[in-house]
Amino acid sequence: MKRFYDLPKFIQWIIAIVLMVGGFGAMVPLISTSFGILLLPLLAPFLNLVSVPFFRLVGYYKYLNPYVLSTVQTDEKYDLHNIFTFDYLVNFKWEDRGMKSQKILLGHYFKALLTIIDRIETEQLPPEVKIVGNSYFFSDRTAEKLGFKISKASLFWIFNSALQFIELSYLYSFSKGKWALPKFWKVKCAEITGSELVKKKMLLEGLVKKLL
């Protein structure tokens, strides 16, 4: 699994399509039942697992690095998302659970922000671009120190977190090194403009060096 993205591209495509078609094919009979909607929280982790390679290859999931992805990358907005189970299987070993995985995840979030800063400085992005993340993972103190404005996430993101609760729970537990339940109903939105983010470049570089 860890060598998946080192495989020749056509092999990646074959595996991704087989996973996607086979996985969704297996789920359709369950989802199409009269109580299928109730099964969505149970099926969501499996659906994510079989779809991630395909969505990455077609470019819907745009990875800023192996630990941070985005679905929106425009001159107006960049969104940041947590990675999925498939990415954990690719990037982590079981012994990485706990503090080590926390440092890796947080360090690469900061690296993703540095990537965005580099794109602004090289004029690939305008300084007016908005960088937005919705998560329960970051701390308000760290986000505000980096210049982000914190607010309550929209109902869409609260619902999305509730739908993904099972997957969020075991991934969150992995990062904690013990069984732990994320407070998905307290998911927060952090937002900053590109021009403000650039001012935090040195701070981010120091944090990355400290964590990674």
User: pLDDT (tens digit, 9 = 90+) per residue, 161-193?
Assistant: 888 999 999 999 999 999 988 887 788 899 999
| Rg of the chain in Å (alpha carbons) | 18
Secondary structure of residue 157 in the 3-state scheme: helix
For 101-141, what is each residue's pLDDT tens digit? 999 999 999 999 999 999 999 999 999 999 999 887 777 88
B/e letters for 172-197, b = 16+ CB within 10 Å, e = fewer, are bbbbbeeeeebebeebbbbbbbbeeb
C-alpha 203/C-alpha 3 separation (Å) is 33
Tally the residues of the chain.
Answer: 212
- Parse the chain into domains and list their residue ranges: 1-58, 61-211
- DSSP structure class, residue 148: P
